[in-house]
Amino acid sequence: MGTIEFDKCDFCQEEKPVWRTYLRAGIIKENFTFVKYCNDCGEPKNLNVDNVTRFEVIDHTFKNKGRVLVEYDVRVEISIQDEGRTMKVFLTEKQ
């Protein structure tokens, strides 16, 4: 826990008292090295993808396409960009 400040929460985008925390293992630090979160949104949970070897994307929207991507034997890297509005997943060769 760091100091509390008044700023825009990276998750709800509201101006309110926020805490800062550093992104943790499994998330690539790109463009910013920390996230700001308010008490309503809560501290982001650790997302450890170090042991992941299978990646699936499943569409549960109204289009309901089901599994749209299944990849085995891959390494997964997650990048949060665009002030928390974009999530990119990079699949690379398993090491």
Do you know the residue count of the chain? 95
State both tokens at 47. 């997302």
**Does the footprint of Zn ion cover residue 9 (CB under 5 A)?**
yes
**Does the footprint of Zn ion cover residue 44 (CB under 5 A)?**
no
**Does the footprint of Zn ion cover residue 41 (CB under 5 A)?**
yes
Stretch that binds Zn ion, among 9-17, 51-59, 63-71, 82-90 (CB under 5 A): 9-17
Q: What is the contact surface with Zn ion in residues (CB under 5 A)?
A: 9, 11-12, 38, 41
